[in-house]
Structure 1
Amino acid sequence: MAESELRPDLRLVPTGSVRFHERPERHRTLRLVERIRAEGVLRNPPIVAVMQDGHYLLLDGANRVSAFLELGYSLVPVQVVNYGDASVQLKGWHHLLLERDALPLRTSYAALSGVHLRPVSRAQVAHLLELRQVYAVLVENETAWWGLFPAPAKAEIDVHEYIRVLSGVVSAYEGLSRLERIKLADYEQLPQMVQAVVQHQVCLFPLLHKEELLLLAAQGMMIPTGLTRHIIPGRTLGINLDLAFIRSPLSDADKLAHFQAFVDRLSMEGRIRFYEESVFIMNE
């Protein structure tokens, strides 16, 4: 068993040293703020990776870190993972929009600067997305597929330009439609995924790469919410840390010592257990 499996790398770091790569969801942040105030407990630590400048790239837990900032907590407990490890994978979500009346997305996207909207076939979609030759693909009720191409045409879209257009794509429906995040191993799965939905639109997105995410975070650029998902083996769940010490007038050094003693106690009491098999968690 690897050392990381014996004990996760849990740290207490300055909240301001954590770099977001996506925008937190305000309503979820506020719900978390109220829950933390009421319970005074952190159930699962956010997950981060160390950046070259010593800051921490936030991989999972944007709303938790945002809640700590909202509460004025200067320190946040995190789990640190090695982002260079091939087992830590960056995947993506697609967006299924569920509304009785479809939003005029085709019109909105045709008006985006630097975008040429044109029909594509289902057979083209995987190729276009994998090579990032489109900003996104809009699917309307499984009958019409529209590619958002760069204008003028480019062999591959620059990541900064991609994020600029992506913000416009998502803002056209964000807050205006009930949204479900979906993942597809194969775009042929899409009809089965949405067959029970009478009226729907789907936005399909190319994947980002880990190196690009590091670059964007270092430059202070954030992508829209709900597009990235990380596959992280050995996630720490259920630490149920009492946050009273973070709110206390203790010095940062004393708070760090308190947190380290808490983690050491978990280990000595045999409460850190590693499960190799996949599990279903139903506690949130």
Structure 2
Amino acid sequence: MAASHSNAPIPDLRIVPAEHIHPHEEHDPQRSIPLIEQLKRAEFITNPPIVSPVDDRGHYVILDGANRCYSFQYLGYAQILVQVIAYESGYVELDNWHHIIGGWDVDEFLKQVRKMPDMEIIDGHQPQAVAHVYCRDGRVLALRAPVSSTHERNETLCSIVRIYQQHAKLHRTAMNDPHANWDMFPDGSAMVVFPRYQPQDIIAAARYKSFLPPGVSRHIVHGRALSVNYPLELLRDEHTSLEEKNTSLKVWIQGKMANRQVRYYAEATYQFGEYE
């Protein structure tokens, strides 16, 4: 029976060991570097990463928040506040982000792509392409490489994305219409569209460290916890056990609920002021 997205459950917030959460994608230095600097000054964790259990030993795959998790681990946090939700709950949808290449000429990008071993650039759509490039000037190009597995495809896509990560600004967009994206991103020279993934691909990428490029998988979580603002000093506390921390977290959440400081929005929203 499909879950009702108009009545999502209360978020399952937990404090878990940082070493027990595993990425399925590479982190994005364009986002993680400024995020690290912000977290150095922050007093609260605002939006907890979203994770899903992958075994019965307390390990999780990161569905959303790879840059946040990387940043916390970089800063030496041994434990992280996360929102736990099962992939099979009915409240998680897997979609894709597209990438907008900003502030860099698309032909310079294509010149670099042609240097990749066994890479072909073909006009038009190709069903076996590892990615498609929609150029601002109207060209549609297929990037084709001899890959025989999702693991090989991920490696190739990571190499492609690293090219424009180093030279351009990487914007993410959920809009499929290139023209709408040119209006939204005036510096955009091209939109890169990736193949779709399945949940088992995400779990395998985390388990075998066969990472996707940053910002390709897009997990839509119904009932996502935002603006939690949990004190970071409570996460950093080295004198309190993990069990005690989670007990205190539960009491803290109960207090928020009792004081009517938690509100559920069933409709899709845009939130301004995000840092990741």
Question: Which TM-score tier does this pair reach, normalised by the shorter chain?
Answer: 0.7 to 0.9
1:175 aligns with: 166
Instruction: Indicate the larger mover: 202-211 or 266-275.
Output: 266-275
Contact preservation (8 Å) 1:135, 1:206: yes
1:166 counterpart = 2:161: no
> Rg bigger for which structure?
1
**Equivalent position to 1:279, from 264, 269, 273:** 269
> In 1, distance between residues paired with 2:96 and 2:272?
22
1:149 counterpart = 2:139: no
> In 1, distance between residues paired with 2:188 and 2:245?
53
1:83 counterpart = 2:87: yes
Name the TM-score, length of structure 1 as normaliser. Answer: 0.83
> In 1, distance between residues paired with 2:216 and 2:12?
26
Contact preservation (8 Å) 1:139, 1:201: yes
What SS is found at the alignment partner of 2:252? helix
Q: For 1:20-59, what aligned pairs fall within 5 Å after superposition?
A: 20-52=23-55, 54-59=58-63
Q: CA 1:81/1:71 → structure 2, altered by over 3 Å: closer, same or farther? A: same
1:107 aligns with: 111
**Equivalent position to 2:131, from 136, 151, 155:** 136
> In 1, distance between residues paired with 2:111 and 2:40?
44
Per-residue CA deviations over 1:228-281 (Å, capped at 9, x if unaligned) read 211111110111111212222323233232222212222333333222223332
> In 1, distance between residues paired with 2:37 and 2:15?
22
1:193 aligns with: 181
Deviation at 1:78, TM superposition (A): 0.7
- Runs (4 or more) in structure 1 with deviation over 6 Å come to none
Q: CA 1:34/1:55 → structure 2, altered by over 3 Å: closer, same or farther? A: same
Name the TM-score, length of structure 2 as normaliser. Answer: 0.85
Per-residue CA deviations over 1:131-179 (Å, capped at 9, x if unaligned) read xx1101123333332212234xx8xx52111101101211221120123
Contact preservation (8 Å) 1:25, 1:225: yes
Contact preservation (8 Å) 2:98, 2:191: yes
**Equivalent position to 1:256, from 246, 254, 266:** 246
2:257 aligns with: 267
Deviation at 1:37, TM superposition (A): 3.2
Instruction: Indicate the larger mover: 87-96 or 137-146.
Output: 137-146
1:225 aligns with: 214
Structure 2 regions of 5+ residues with no counterpart? Answer: none
Structure 1 regions of 5+ residues with no counterpart? Answer: none
Give the root-mean-square deviation of aligned CA atoms.
Answer: 2.6
Q: CA 1:277/1:113 → structure 2, altered by over 3 Å: closer, same or farther? A: same
Contact preservation (8 Å) 1:7, 1:267: no
